[in-house]
């Protein structure tokens, strides 16, 4: 990507971020909103920087819950999606249960999880994974169901094994929908981590810190924590976006890079 194109891509989000902060400042200043109801953006920022030594360990813990839970959810989501796509009977049987799993309020799930798994990282990882796996499963399932039928027929005609067809045709065909699921999961993962922290925590956590700030009517602390939580969610989403960029080169160029062409040709021949 050229510097000019990169600048073009980054400029839009930066301008919208500045606009949000400006609107926030204007509402608080012109609306004469008391500082215990809503702080100015700078005060919220200072609530982060001045308490960074307290906030960083809590933030890194929340990141850990988010990342571990996300990957656990992705692994389960892809596994469910693939198995359900390959075994239609299982899909018919399991799909309603998966939908049901998403109708269970996460908060109601928290206490039994704590009773079974204790206060460690595990119940939080389970809650995040619970939220993440569903969009991944649904998208993988849709992706595998919508692979180009002509390509599948061609591979059959060329005598490709089921495994080879799966690796060379079906997986690449499901990658775009998979990343749609991953992006939804990435945004919800941090929400899941915060809900899990509120539902049951041992020691302190970002969610409990925010709760304590709210109790002390420290609006700057509450908003500052919210900014941190948002940053975790946005950061994780951007990383997923980056992974999508790297994993789907065909969306940017129709012809493979010269150095990869040999390998592709071999793959195609060995079909």
Partner 1 sequence: MKHRILRTALTGVVLASTGVIAAATNASADGLGATKLTTVNFVYDFPGPDMELIPIVVGQDQGFYTKAGISVKTLFPASTSSTSAMLATGAGDVGFITTSDMADAVQAKVPLLSIANYSMTNNWTIFAKPGSKLTAADLKGKKIFSWGDTWTNTMMSFVLKHAGLSANQVTIVTASNDTPLLMNGKIDFDTSTTNYAVPAIQGADKGATPVMFTGSQIGVPNIPIWVYAVTKAYAAAHPATAKAFLSATLAATKWAIANPAAAVNDFVKMYPTSGYTKAYSTTGWSLTIPLLKNSSGKFFTQTSAQWSTLDQGLIATKQIKTAPAPTTYYTNAFVPAQ
Interface residue list for partner 1 (CB under 8 A): 34-37, 107, 110-111, 114-115, 118-119, 198-204, 208, 211-212, 214-218
Q: Least distance (Å) from partner 1 to the CB of residue 115?
A: 6
Structure tokens at 147: 């692979």
87 vs 217, beta carbon nearer partner 1: 217
Cβ burial of 259 (10 Å; 0-12, 13-18, 19+) is exposed
Nearer to partner 1, 158 or 214 (CB): 214
Min dist CB 37 to partner 1, Å, is 6
DSSP state of 37: T
Q: Considering beta carbons, is residue 212 or 271 the nearer one to partner 1?
A: 212
Whole-angstrom distance, CA of residue 104 vs CA of residue 197 = 18
Token duo for residue 251: 């969306």
Q: Can you read off the two tokens belonging to residue 230?
A: 């948002």
Residue written as tokens 């998979």?
A: 178
Contact (CB, 8 A) for 84 and 137: yes
Closer residue to partner 1 in complex, CB, 167/217 = 217
Q: Which is nearer to partner 1, 36 or 52 (CB)?
A: 36
Pick from 232, 185, 204: nearest CA to 77: 185
The least distance separating partner 1 from the CB of residue 84, rounded to whole angstroms, comes to: 33
Q: How far is the CB of 200 from partner 1 (least distance, A)?
A: 4
Residue 57: closest CA among 264, 211, 206:
206
Q: Taking the complex as a whole, how short is the minimal distance between the CB of residue 110 and partner 1, in angstroms?
A: 6
Token pair of 243 as six digits: 């992974």
**Minimum Å distance from CB 10 to partner 1?**
37
Burial class (CB in 10 A: 0-12, 13-18, 19+), 29: exposed
Instruction: Tell me whether residue 113 or residue 184 sits nearer to partner 1 (CB atom).
Output: 113
Q: Are 173 and 223 in contact (CB under 8 A)?
A: no
Minimum distance of partner 1 from residue 225's CB (angstroms): 13
Residue 234, Cβ density class (10 Å: 0-12 exposed, 13-18 middle, ≥19 buried): middle
CB nearer to partner 1: pick between 36 and 250: 36
């Amino acid at each position: 990507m050229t510097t000019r194109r990169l600048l073009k891509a980054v400029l839009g989000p930066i301008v919208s971020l500045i606009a949000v902060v400006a609107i926030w400042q204007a509402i608080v200043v012109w609306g004469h909103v008391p500082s215990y109801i809503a702080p100015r953006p700078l005060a919220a920022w200072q609530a982060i920087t001045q308490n960074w030594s307290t906030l960083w360990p809590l933030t890194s813990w929340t990141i850990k819950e988010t990342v571990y839970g996300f990957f656990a959810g992705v692994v389960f989501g892809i596994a469910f999606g693939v198995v359900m796509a390959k075994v239609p009977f299982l899909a018919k049987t399991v799909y309603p249960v998966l939908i049901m799993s998403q109708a269970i309020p996460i908060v109601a799930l928290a206490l039994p999880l704590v009773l079974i798994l204790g206060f460690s990282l595990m119940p939080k990882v389970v809650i995040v994974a619970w939220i993440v796996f569903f969009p991944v499963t649904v998208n993988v399932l849709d992706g595998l169901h919508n692979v180009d039928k002509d390509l599948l027929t061609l591979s059959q005609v060329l005598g490709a094994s089921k495994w080879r067809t799966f690796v060379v045709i079906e997986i690449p065909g499901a990658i775009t929908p998979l990343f749609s699921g991953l992006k939804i999961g990435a945004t919800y993962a941090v929400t899941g981590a915060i809900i899990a922290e509120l539902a049951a925590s041992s020691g302190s956590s970002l969610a409990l810190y925010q709760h304590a700030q709210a109790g002390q009517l420290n609006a700057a602390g509450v908003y500052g924590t919210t900014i941190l939580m948002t940053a975790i969610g946005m950061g994780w989403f951007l990383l997923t976006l980056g992974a999508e960029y790297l994993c789907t080169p065909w969306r940017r160029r129709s012809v493979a890079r010269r150095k990869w062409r040999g390998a592709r040709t071999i793959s195609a021949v060995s079909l």
